[in-house]
Amino acid sequence: MQEAAQNILEQIFLSPAISTNYNLTTSRQPPDPPLSPQEISAVIEHLPSGKAPDIDGIDNLLIKIIHKRFNNIFPTIFNKCLHLSCLTDSLKIGNIILFQKGGKDQRLASSYRPISLLPTIGEGKSVDTAINELLINIKTARRDDKHVLVLSIDIKGAFDNLQHRSILKTLEASACPSNINRLFHSLLQNRIVTLLTPQGRATKEQKQGCPQGSCSGPALWNLVANEILNQVWPDNVHIQAFADDFVLVIKADTNKSLVEDTQSAITQFSSWCSENELVISTEKTNYILFSKMVRSPKITRKGYKINRVKSFKYLGIHVDDRLNWLEHINKQGEKAIKMQQNLKRITGGNWGISQIHRWTLYKTVIERILAHGSSAWCLNPTFKMKRKLSSIQRPFLLHISGAYRTTPTAALQTILGIPPLHMQLQFEDRFASIYRLRIPLPPLITDTQPHDLEMKATGWSTHPSEHLKSNQISFEDGEAYIARKDIINIFTDGSKTELVVC
């Protein structure tokens, strides 16, 4: 077993053909200021309590308890790391958990996705935003009577095959503070991945890539991916990415120009991949066409034909060439049937978990899975969509209630206090449209629009070291600060204003 685990690590975590030079050139950027205690406290406070512990067995709950009892430990440790631009090697050990990819041969190492559990103390966009941006580009082009080709590009093992040379090169060209830059250099060196077996641990030095599941992984990948996103593209070509999922939207007036522009875009993207030693999987790369063309455009890459599909999966959402979303709902329905069958194994009509626990499982697991990305497809559901969603929901309602199969769906929804699935999704979609996507609601809704609501501040408006200072909120009389013009004074009791109380 240990030998098999070692072989899997050797095949998944390859070593680069050319060794990486980790020597840091002199950076012209100023260093970042020390981490403030308030900054570290804010990070620890928002650590998810349900995260699995890594190889040292320390979970987030224990981290929070330690910090609450000894609040100077972590600021001291991390500021020393920042000052020395060095991370201890014990924080670079990734405990690998393998997940088998659906429908893949379990005998092949490539059939498993490695997730790395790293030490916790080492660790604004959303799927809704990404899918909405894609749909806006498609619909806008179709309104202009353009032929639209959406190309989904798959990069083989993007996170695992990302070269450290590419990361360091991008860091050197960025405005990254000098001490943070050196810290990343330290982070990439002496990394170890380990896989637990009954006979012991299999280990391997990781000289390329950033493990999926690590906090630094997306940041390191985004550094390199920003290069291709920031390149100059033709006006009729839109590129977007969510992690390693790249999509190109090409629009044109004729079949000929559509093919030429698509081939040019593929060449530009392939050139970037070659520079960073990334490999495009031609067999997994495909395109979907939004057009009334009789013949499909012939799109190729290095002599291999790229297949046209009726729908493709993007960020867990099945986008079809008619945008009627029935393909996605049908796929979700198939998934729901499997979940309902699994639920039957642990509970029956008069045995197993209680009704309240069944209700909770449905609301927190089943409904959340079905609601994934629904802001793209359930804002204005058609009658067919409503009927299909109702058929998906009904088996769960029967199982939760234990009622007869002849019981009307509406009665089950009323008794259990569970609204129709399409109404629940539509409610959440309108909320996401207003607060997250900031797009107008249908004309029939006139009482609330995005511009009437405040926008939640995201990210840091100032440097974290200047944020959450202990003296930002005071319960003392602010008379002495009123005359100062360099600060903003907010009096919540209205005592210093002639207007109404705040």
| 308-364 pLDDT, tens digit each | 999 999 999 999 999 999 999 999 999 988 888 888 888 776 778 888 988 998 998
Band of residue 7 on the pLDDT scale cut at 50, 70, 90: confident
- Residues 353-373 have pLDDT tens digits of 888 988 998 998 889 889 988
CB 470 within 8 A of CB 416: no
**pLDDT at position 446, please?**
67
**pLDDT at position 231, please?**
96
Query: What is the mean pLDDT of the segment spanning 393-398?
Result: 94
Band of residue 211 on the pLDDT scale cut at 50, 70, 90: low
**pLDDT at position 70, please?**
92
Band of residue 412 on the pLDDT scale cut at 50, 70, 90: very high
Average pLDDT of the chain? 84
Least confident of 83-92, 165-174, 456-465: 456-465
Band of residue 97 on the pLDDT scale cut at 50, 70, 90: confident
Least confident of 197-206, 237-246, 363-372, 465-474: 465-474
Query: What is the mean pLDDT of the segment spanning 444-454?
Result: 67
Q: Which residues pair with 97 in a beta bridge?
A: 115
| Nearest CA among 419, 414, 450 for reference residue 432 | 450
Assess whether pLDDT exceeds 50 at residue 124.
Answer: no
Q: What are the structural domains, with CATH classification, of the chain?
A: 1-123+163-213 (no CATH), 127-158+222-320 (3.30.70), 326-436 (no CATH)
Q: Which residue has the higher pLDDT, 346 or 382?
A: 382
Q: Which residues pair with 237 in a beta bridge?
A: 250
**pLDDT at position 294, please?**
80
Q: How many angstroms separate the first and last alpha carbons of the chain?
A: 67
Assess whether pLDDT exceeds 60 at residue 111.
Answer: yes
CB 420 within 8 A of CB 390: yes
**pLDDT at position 437, please?**
79
The proportion of the chain whose per-residue pLDDT surpasses 90, expressed as a percent, equals: 38
**pLDDT at position 395, please?**
92
Assess whether pLDDT exceeds 80 at residue 483.
Answer: no
Assess whether pLDDT exceeds 90 at residue 249.
Answer: yes
| Nearest CA among 163, 190, 22 for reference residue 91 | 190
Query: What is the mean pLDDT of the segment spanning 394-408?
Result: 92
| Nearest CA among 328, 332, 331 for reference residue 320 | 328
Query: Taking the CA of residue 184 as centre, how many other CA atoms within 13 Å lie in the half-sphere pointing to its CB?
Result: 24
Tokens linked to 436: 């997250």
**pLDDT at position 470, please?**
57
Q: Which residue has the higher pLDDT, 465 or 104?
A: 104
**pLDDT at position 264, please?**
97
Query: What is the mean pLDDT of the segment spanning 111-137?
Result: 75
Least confident of 12-26, 160-174, 483-497: 483-497
Tokens linked to 174: 């960025």
Handedness of CA 433, 435, 438, 442 (dihedral sign): positive
Band of residue 123 on the pLDDT scale cut at 50, 70, 90: very low
Give me Rg for the CA atoms of the chain: 27
Assess whether pLDDT exceeds 60 at residue 122.
Answer: no
List the beta strands (DSSP E) in 374-452. none
Q: Which residues pair with 208 in a beta bridge?
A: none
| Nearest CA among 269, 271, 278 for reference residue 233 | 269
Q: DSSP alpha helices (H): ranges in 174-254?
A: 178-188, 216-229
Assess whether pLDDT exceeds 60 at residue 125.
Answer: no
Q: Which residue has the higher pLDDT, 42 or 325?
A: 325
Of all helices (H) and strands (E), which one includes residue 246? strand 245-252
Q: DSSP alpha helices (H): ranges in 417-473?
A: 421-432
